[in-house]
Amino acid sequence: MKRRIPFTAVTLTALIALAGCSPSTEQASTQTSATTTAPTPTPSTPTPPAAAPLATPLLARVVAAPVPVPATDGRTHLVYELLLTNSMNQDVSVDSVVVRPGDGDPLLTLAGAELADRTRVLGTTAPTAALGPAQSALVWLDVTTENGRTPTELDHQVKVTLTQPMPPLLPAEVTETVAPVTVQTRQPVSIAAPLRGPQWWDANGCCGMTAHRMAINPIDGELWGGERFAIDYVQLMPDGRLFDGKVDDLSGYPYFGADIHAVADGPVVAVLDGLPEQAAGVNPTGLRLDEYGGNHVVQDIGGGNYAFYAHLKTGSVAVKPGDRLSAGQVLGQLGNSGNTDAPHLHFHVMDGPDPLKADGLPFVIDAFRLTARTSAGVGPDGDAIDAVLAGKPAPLQPDVSPRDETGLLPLVSDVMDYPDE
């Protein structure tokens, strides 16, 4: 996205004009009053001087204020995005982004390759920390803190290098303090698991640069991050594989058709059924916007939270709008409809009933057993998803001890057992 108003032609000119029209503070007034005596000022506490205005090459705002959530890594996560816009008619380089609490040490510092890996110019997919004239970019942030030590306020110190500095107004390097944000005080909704049984793998979830995490959608003139905390669930077989036989044979996936359970009490607000199953192993094309979730159910689970169950099996949806569900009730079956290349359940919680035009909210699952984690690295067979789609076992991280967890957000790569009752 580009804007056609160059910073140099408008903003700096305005600053210069303002300076030229302002009265000098060194020129004392010579006017006096013949009839009025100036009142004696009342003593008061001096007001600290405001910081001097600073010309900022980058404009910045937070897409949605973060909601703290405890996760399976033993940390509390603040997950959100910073939108940067280059207001200059020249290339700039974002050198670092530092996330700071109201006071105290920085919570996160991104620079170099790590910053580039978490930054994308809008409409592009290549990692970069360079912005062309009038370009905007998103920086995906995952700020972690010790449990119970979440800050109430955050700001962002951004260091930027200009290719055409204009001293003294704009030196070659500028450090801006921008986009202050108040951390939300709402609590993540606590839910039951939407599935039952062993070896359910979070193959695409929070909080790295996964497809869900990066799905910031331009809808009706605004940016929405509905999938910020979404999970794609697939079930690994005892040997770690995903399917038997050919990748495109849905019957070879043992979990295809697994029951999907309501995660909480609450009414159904939207349903779609009747879309066909997609061929596994192939990315579908030609979908309309409202078909991306495939056959699905949206449920109001209270407190401004809406649960989205997507890619359900054709003809399996067992509920209708207005039905009031109880936690654990079967609402459909796991399928492969919509924007999907393998059978899975896409699940997320959001702040409105539209799966795309909403902001994703964190949630915690009340009880589960964390049994393993898949490897995040890329090996000879690619990453873990590449390996399982090639018919091979998912590579696992060593030294992960199985443990029972309560009230935590699963993270991408977690493998979990969900209780049957």
| Residues 210-269 pLDDT 10s | 999 999 999 999 999 999 999 999 999 999 999 999 999 999 999 999 999 999 999 999
Of 126-140, 253-267, 386-400, the least confident: 386-400
Nearest one of 230, 250, 260, 261 to 242, comparing CA atoms: 250
Residue 33 has pLDDT above 80, yes or no: no
What separation, in Å, do the N-terminal and C-terminal C-alpha atoms of the chain show? Answer: 50
Residue 31 has pLDDT above 50, yes or no: no
Residue 11 has pLDDT above 60, yes or no: no
pLDDT of residue 48: 60
Q: How far apart are CA 244 and CA 247, in angstroms?
A: 8
Domain 189-418 in the same topology as domain 58-182: no
Residue 60 has pLDDT above 90, yes or no: yes
pLDDT of residue 12: 34
Domain extents in the chain = 58-182, 189-418
pTM comes to 0.87
| Res. 107 pLDDT band, cuts 50 70 90 | very high
Q: How far apart are CA 361 and CA 258, in angstroms?
A: 25
Residue 208 has pLDDT above 80, yes or no: yes
Residue 96 has pLDDT above 90, yes or no: yes
| Res. 24 pLDDT band, cuts 50 70 90 | very low
Q: How far is CA 392 from CA 121, 168, 223, in A?
A: 35, 60, 38
> Six-digit token pair at 331?
């609402």
Which residues face 82 on adjacent strands? Answer: 62, 139
Letter for the amino acid at 48? P
**Residue % of the chain over a pLDDT of 70:** 86
pLDDT of residue 21: 43
Place of tokens 């979908």: 287
Residue 22 has pLDDT above 50, yes or no: no
Q: How far is CA 314 from CA 137, 277, 310, in A?
A: 38, 6, 11
Q: What class has domain 189-418?
A: mainly beta
Convert the pLDDT of each residue in 171-198 to its tens digit: 999 999 999 999 999 999 999 999 999 9
Residue 255's region, left for phi above 0, alpha for psi from -120 to 50, else beta, is alpha
Q: Backbone phi, then psi, for 386, in 5-degree steps?
A: -60, -40
Contact 216, 63 (CB under 8 A): yes
Residue 45 has pLDDT above 80, yes or no: no
pLDDT of residue 35: 39
pLDDT of residue 415: 98
* Average pLDDT rounded to a whole number, residues 405-417: 98
Contact 192, 349 (CB under 8 A): no
Q: Is 58-182 assigned to CATH 3.90.320? A: no
Convert the pLDDT of each residue in 292-341 to its tens digit: 999 999 999 999 999 999 999 999 999 999 999 999 999 999 999 999 99
Q: How far apart are CA 141 and CA 401, in angstroms?
A: 28
